Amino acid sequence: MIFTVTLNPTIDQTLVLEHFVAGDTLRVKSSRFDPGGKGINVSRVVRELGGESVAMGFAPGGLGRYIEQTLKAQGVECDFVHTKGEARTNITILDESRHRHTILSDPGPQTADRFAEQLLSKLRKRLHANDWLVVAGSIPPPLSPDIYAEIITMARENWVHTVLDADGPALVVGVAAKPEMVKGNRRELERLLDCRLSDERSTLEAAEVLRGMGIRMAVVTRGREGAVAVCDEGSFRSVAPRVRAVSAVGSGDSLLAGVVLSLSRGDNMEDALRLGVAAGTACVLTPGTELCRRREVDILQPRVKVQRIEPQPALAQEA
């Protein structure tokens, strides 16, 4: 089973405008609401691709219960801790004339430590050996990033495959707990490793640094350039088919969902990367915070090119 943890869920509202002008009164062309948060997005995409997952984490206030009800209506099993406060709302403004997105992100409600203990208790009861656990997204204040380390360590001790997708202090602390996989984008890894990833070679070197820190699998997204993965099987590059992008919001979460779903079925990294990149590419075809659709994923998957990368002298291990 695939479990996801979202500590800071959100209602994602997308406003589509013909032309965005700051300081003016603007007419909204269309609007939609989606349950959001990185882990929740992964659960939604796993379901869309025909898999099963359990969405866990926090569900603050009435909006948290709305998120839970919406996910259940979409066929996603939920087991949230109901917390105080109110779930945050993120607003994405899509300027159609410039194909540009502006995102207003709420930090989330104040969350007491006791709710973290309740979540850990739930996870201990539900996780079993060979399950997959995706820990993803931001952490609501004033909880410490150490919560990610606690979750990952507990899961690893129970032989659960652990996956981390975070940024900033949460990524730093999470990586130190040695999850089995880290998925990140170029900017997130640049901040983590304090380096510049200007091309594929430097990105692969960064992934190898993660491997040296005890991470078995590192998957790094590179926008239109696809993604690279470094694992026990070797190093791989994936090239996404060219499409007319509508919105990149959620594409990384869609990619991660495809990779984890494929690996959970026993596939190798090459096949997992192919499904993940197809899902991430399909996501950019949908507006705002809408995620990928299975029909487009099925069409795109055979068009994704995945190649094994032979070690370069700087990347090869010393004899």
Which residues lie below 8 Å from residue 266, measured CB to CB, with a gap of 6+? Answer: none
Three-state SS at 92:
strand
Handedness of CA 75, 181, 224, 273 (dihedral sign): negative
Average pLDDT, stretch 273-281? 95
Q: What is the pLDDT of residue 319?
A: 41
Whole-model pTM: value is 0.91
Q: How many residues does the chain have?
A: 319
Kindly report which listed range (51-60, 70-79, 188-197) carries the lowest average pLDDT score. 188-197
Q: What is the pLDDT of residue 286?
A: 85
How far is it, in rounded angstroms, from Cα 219 to Cα 181? 8
Tokens (6 digits) for 160: 């659960």
- Smallest Cα–Cα separation from 6: which of 112, 134, 170? 134
Q: Which long-range contacts (CB under 8 A, 24 or more apart) does 60-65 make?
A: 60/9, 60/84, 60/85, 60/86, 60/87, 60/108, 60/109, 60/111, 60/140, 61/85, 61/86, 61/87, 61/109, 62/86, 63/11, 63/87, 63/89, 64/9
Q: What is the pLDDT of residue 312?
A: 59
Q: What is the dihedral of CA 254, 258, 261, 262, to 10 degrees?
A: -170
Tokens (6 digits) for 3: 């479990």
Three-state SS at 24:
coil
Instruction: Give the model's confidence band at 57: pLDDT under 50 very low, under 70 low, under 90 confident, else very high.
Output: very high
Instruction: Give the model's confidence band at 289: pLDDT under 50 very low, under 70 low, under 90 confident, else very high.
Output: confident
Does the pLDDT at position 119 exceed 90?
yes
Q: Work out the percent of the chain whose per-residue pLDDT is above 70.
A: 97
Tokens (6 digits) for 310: 């032979």
